[in-house]
């Protein structure tokens, strides 16, 4: 186990290096560049552009720029945004909290819905409920997020005026305690509903499948034969084992909690990482983009490792060599 962990950690280093390199090359090869906005401004003359290029280090060859970025990055210096001139780390941190807040709650709501739906669908396989849920699940995750979100916004914000059209809380009004809490919830509603609709189906279907696998196994039949109560068989015997692959799937999807949802955050004006990434991409803000992408890569790698370890931990049959 210790050996396995060490091997995975060592393997991770070239992997992450490779990812940052590829990402860097892709970014710099996109036409435009961070000074694009300055280029067709009549006041910014050729000599101003040359001076700015030098200040940002853009006059150096790509491999030198990458090496400089990497050198600073591994030492914990994430650099300054080309656009805002603010430290990248503090820019990301400010948005990070908002993203965890939105994604954490929608993940929670999703799981709270997916668990009972998945279990009930498996127990009552091919029942009306199962068919209905299967239909809804497919409808949910085949719907484009931007379209669904826009539709919900038009209905619930513009027409019915139940929920605000984007933002995180009411700006410029005195609210405190309970009122403020409700205000926050109103702003959360639409993005959370959108995210929940598109992902609940996925988790519910996954749990249903893995529970069905288990339900037909001999030890479950034995439990039934012993005359145990239905709920006891399902929750104590079947579900325990069915949850093992489910937990790993959830773990693999956890990085989303931190990297955010570009489309939903943009649609609902949520000041999270996804939107920071989108804005930075439009402005060719390489240091910020690299920061967000590096965190994303690191988290995906880490949670995959965690899922693998967790799997072995929860299921004694798995052994790592």
> Which positions from 273 through 292 interact with other proteins, judged by CB under 8 A?
275-276, 278-279, 283-284
CA distance 127 to 146: 32
Distance from chain centroid for Cα 2: 29
* 221 belongs to the binding site for other proteins (CB under 8 A): no
Rg of the chain (C-alpha set): 24
Shortest separation between residue 258's beta carbon and other proteins, angstroms = 13
Q: Among 15, 102, 7, 66, which Cα is nearest to 297's?
A: 15
* 305 belongs to the binding site for other proteins (CB under 8 A): no
Nearer to other proteins, 165 or 209 (CB): 165
- 54-83 binders of other proteins (CB under 8 A): 55-56, 80, 83
Beta-carbon count within 10 A of 279 CB: 14
Give the SS3 label for residue 131: helix
Stretch that binds other proteins, among 171-179, 204-212, 224-232, 300-308 (CB under 8 A): 171-179
Stretch that binds other proteins, among 14-22, 95-103, 201-209, 292-300 (CB under 8 A): 95-103
Q: Among 79, 4, 19, which Cα is nearest to 297's?
A: 19
**Looking at residue 87, what DSSP letter applies?**
B
Shortest separation between residue 167's beta carbon and other proteins, angstroms = 7
Nearer to other proteins, 101 or 224 (CB): 101
CA distance 170 to 32: 37
How many residues bind other proteins (CB under 8 A)? The answer is 80
CA distance 84 to 95: 15
Shortest separation between residue 187's beta carbon and other proteins, angstroms = 9
Of positions 16, 19, 52, 295, contacts other proteins by CB under 8 A: 52
- 27-46 binders of other proteins (CB under 8 A): 30-33, 36-46
Q: Exposed/middle/buried for 156, CB within 10 Å: 0-12, 13-18, 19+? A: middle
Nearer to other proteins, 8 or 184 (CB): 184
* 100 belongs to the binding site for other proteins (CB under 8 A): yes
Shortest separation between residue 220's beta carbon and other proteins, angstroms = 17
Nearer to other proteins, 12 or 33 (CB): 33
Q: CA distances (Å), 270 to each of 21, 87, 205, in order?
A: 30, 21, 29
* 199 belongs to the binding site for other proteins (CB under 8 A): no
- 138-167 binders of other proteins (CB under 8 A): 153-154, 157-158, 161, 164-167
Helix axes 2-29, 286-314, angle to 10 degrees: 150
Nearer to other proteins, 86 or 222 (CB): 86
* 105 belongs to the binding site for other proteins (CB under 8 A): yes
| Locus of tokens 């639409």 | 190
CA distance 122 to 112: 16
Stretch that binds other proteins, among 10-18, 62-70, 88-96, 207-215 (CB under 8 A): 88-96
Stretch that binds other proteins, among 26-34, 64-72, 206-214, 294-302 (CB under 8 A): 26-34
Shortest separation between residue 86's beta carbon and other proteins, angstroms = 6
Shortest separation between residue 43's beta carbon and other proteins, angstroms = 4
CA distance 8 to 148: 40
Q: Among 30, 61, 10, 33, which Cα is nearest to 285's?
A: 33
């Amino acid at each position: 186990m210790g050996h396995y962990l060490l091997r995975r950690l060592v393997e991770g280093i070239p992997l992450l290096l490779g990812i940052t390199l590829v990402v860097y090359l892709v970014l710099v090869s996109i036409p435009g560049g961070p000074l694009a906005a300055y280029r067709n401004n009549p006041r910014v003359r050729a000599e101003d552009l040359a001076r700015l290029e030098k200040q940002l280090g853009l006059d150096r060859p790509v491999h030198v720029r990458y090496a400089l970025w990497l050198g600073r990055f591994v030492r914990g210096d994430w650099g300054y945004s080309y656009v805002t001139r603010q430290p990248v780390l503090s820019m990301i941190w400010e948005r990070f909290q908002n993203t965890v807040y939105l994604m954490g709650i929608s993940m929670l709501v999703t799981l709270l819905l997916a668990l009972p739906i998945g279990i009930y669908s498996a127990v009552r396989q091919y029942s009306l409920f199962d068919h209905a849920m299967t239909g809804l699940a497919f409808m949910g995750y085949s719907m484009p997020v931007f379209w669904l979100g826009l539709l919900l916004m038009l209905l619930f914000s513009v027409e019915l005026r139940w929920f605000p059209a984007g933002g995180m809380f009411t700006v410029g009004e005195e609210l405190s305690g309970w009122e403020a809490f409700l205000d926050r919830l109103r702003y959360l509603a639409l993005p959370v509903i959108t995210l929940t609709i598109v992902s609940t189906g996925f988790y519910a279907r996954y749990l249903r499948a893995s529970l069905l696998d288990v339900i037909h196994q001999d030890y479950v039949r034995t439990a039934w034969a012993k005359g145990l109560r239905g709920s006891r068989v399902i929750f104590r015997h079947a579900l325990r084992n069915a949850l093992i692959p489910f937990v790993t799937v959830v773990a693999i999807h956890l990085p989303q909690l931190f990297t955010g949802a570009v489309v939903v955050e943009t649609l609902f004006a949520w000041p999270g990482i996804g939107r920071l990434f989108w804005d930075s991409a439009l402005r060719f803000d390489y240091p910020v983009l690299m920061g967000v992408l590096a965190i994303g890569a690191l988290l995906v790698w880490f949670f995959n490792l965690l899922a693998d370890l967790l799997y072995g931990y929860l299921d004694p049959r798995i052994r790592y060599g």
